[in-house]
Amino acid sequence: MPESSILVTGGCGYIGSHVVRQLSECGYQVVIIDNLSTGSKENLIYDEKLVVGDISDSKLVESVFSQYRFDAVFHFAASIIVPESVKMPLKYYRNNTVNSINIFDACIRYGVNKIVFSSTAAVYGENELLQVTEDSPLNPTNPYARSKLMDEYVLSDMRAALPNLSYVILRYFNVAGSDLLGRIGPRNPNATHLIKVACEAALGIRDKVTIFGTDYPTHDGTCIRDYIHVEDLAKAHLESYRYLRDGGDSIVLNCGYGRGLSVREVLKAVELAHRKPIKVSEGYRRIGDVSSVIANSNRIKKLLNWRPVYEDISSIVESAYHWEKKLIRNSNSERRIFSVNQSLGREVT
């Protein structure tokens, strides 16, 4: 059993919790810092150590690093909504860049020299390439992407100054799906990810799903993205840590399948899972969105021997759809219990 202790920031969130679960299943000791603004304690299924707080709190970060001996840090905590970043840029530079520096600074002072960092394919911005490699031009078009790219620069500069430091920067493409056993998944009711929103529309949680822009230079006029199952992405984090533990040098890696799907194609996949049409409306483009971004994932497959398992869009959508159905069942059950308690005159807390 591995003896490593790993700090995971944002470990109660959607992606972080899947990584935490896989780490625990491999025997790693996991400590989590999460302010629970979008994450949930319910996403922790192995009773991992949770410190509730914000990584902007330097005293809290100091306390956690002084209490535990970490072999590595997996850094997820961030704000991630592109349209919001355009409206509230300072929030994103504060949460995603300034707060990351708090964590990186603690790593230096406490001798934690392995970092797995959650970045984004949004750093590539608009491009004319069929697939982007890690060496493709970087042209972030919104504050969210720019804040993440700043973190990448910070890590690169830290590595230049501190030869013992090593990191893996994982540039996520569009993450979707959930744990195949239905234990954890995206719980944030304000999520903006297309597949979750479409599943909610199919199940009546939302009135409809809106296509933001139908005049992009793509085959059907809608944006094209590379969708990756959260389980495959989580596995990439564990493989990244093993790579660093085995002496691997700092590296940037794309996390995608190398296959693009348009918004309309994704909605069709959700309708197939739902077995009936869903209500769709068409709207204007959102500021900050790009027409197409697809991964070239040759590097991660070669260096980490990463082999995705759930590449088919039906696997991604089916797991997302069944997760949303479970949330509805749980919500209905909680309402029935509340109603019974009220009728019996019990105090509900």
Residue 144 annotated as catalytic: yes
Structure confidence by residue, pLDDT tens digits, 96-143:
999 999 999 999 999 999 999 999 999 999 887 889 999 999 999 999
Question: What CATH topology corresponds to 5-329?
Answer: Rossmann fold (3.40.50)
Q: At what angle do helices 263-274 and 313-343 cross, to 10 degrees?
A: 60
Residue 272: predicted pLDDT: 96
The proportion of the chain whose per-residue pLDDT surpasses 70, expressed as a percent, equals 93
Q: Please give the average per-residue pLDDT across 213-225, as a whole number.
A: 95
What's the CA gap between 294 and 347, in Å, rounded?
Answer: 53
Q: Where are the alpha helices (DSSP H) in the chain?
A: 14-25, 58-67, 82-87, 89-93, 99-109, 143-161, 194-202, 230-245, 263-274, 298-304, 313-343
Per-domain boundaries in the chain: 5-329
Task: Please tell me which residue, 330 or 76, carries the higher pLDDT value.
Answer: 76
What's the CA gap between 141 and 101, in Å, rounded?
Answer: 22
Q: Can you tell me which residue has the tokens 């040759």?
A: 298
Q: What is the largest CA-CA distance in the chain?
A: 66
Q: Can you tell me which residue has the tokens 């797995």?
A: 116
What's the CA gap between 293 and 130, in Å, rounded?
Answer: 8
The region of weakest confidence among 37-51, 157-171, 330-344 is 330-344
Residue 348: predicted pLDDT: 38
**C-alpha torsion sign, points 122, 123, 125, 130:** negative
Residue 269: predicted pLDDT: 97
**C-alpha torsion sign, points 5, 78, 59, 168:** positive
* CA neighbor of 287 nearest in space, from 345, 175, 212: 212
Q: How confident is the model at residue 332 (pLDDT cuts 50, 70, 90)?
A: low
Residue 192: predicted pLDDT: 83
Q: Which residues does residue 52 pair with via DSSP β-bridges, in sequence order?
A: 34
**What's the mean per-residue pLDDT of the chain?**
92
**C-alpha torsion sign, points 46, 52, 58, 59:** negative
* CA neighbor of 10 nearest in space, from 79, 83, 91: 79
* pTM, two decimal places: 0.91
Residue 330: predicted pLDDT: 78
Q: Which of 144, 241, 243, 310 is catalytic?
A: 144
Residues 6+ apart with CB under 8 A from 232: 308, 309, 310, 311
CB 270 within 8 A of CB 317: yes
Q: How confident is the model at residue 2 (pLDDT cuts 50, 70, 90)?
A: very low
Q: How confident is the model at residue 344 (pLDDT cuts 50, 70, 90)?
A: very low
Residue 338: predicted pLDDT: 33
Q: Which residues does residue 73 pair with via DSSP β-bridges, in sequence order?
A: 7, 115
Residue 264 C-beta-side C-alpha neighbours within 13 Å: 10
Distances (CA, A) of 195 to 16, 228, 269, 319, 320: 18, 11, 9, 10, 7
Residue 127: predicted pLDDT: 81
What's the CA gap between 84 and 289, in Å, rounded?
Answer: 12
Q: Where are the alpha helices (DSSP H) in 94-229?
A: 99-109, 143-161, 194-202
Structure confidence by residue, pLDDT tens digits, 312-329:
999 999 999 999 999 998
Q: Please give the average per-residue pLDDT across 136-164, as a whole number.
A: 96
Residue 134: predicted pLDDT: 97
| Other beta carbons less than 10 A from residue 52's beta carbon | 13
Residue 4: predicted pLDDT: 65
What's the CA gap between 166 and 159, in Å, rounded?
Answer: 7
Residue 334: predicted pLDDT: 44
Token pair recorded at residue 7: 């700090």
Structure confidence by residue, pLDDT tens digits, 254-305:
999 999 999 999 999 999 999 999 999 999 998 888 899 999 999 999 999 9
The proportion of the chain whose per-residue pLDDT surpasses 90, expressed as a percent, equals 86
229 class by beta-carbon count within 10 Å (0-12 exposed, 13-18 middle, 19+ buried): buried
Q: How confident is the model at residue 339 (pLDDT cuts 50, 70, 90)?
A: very low
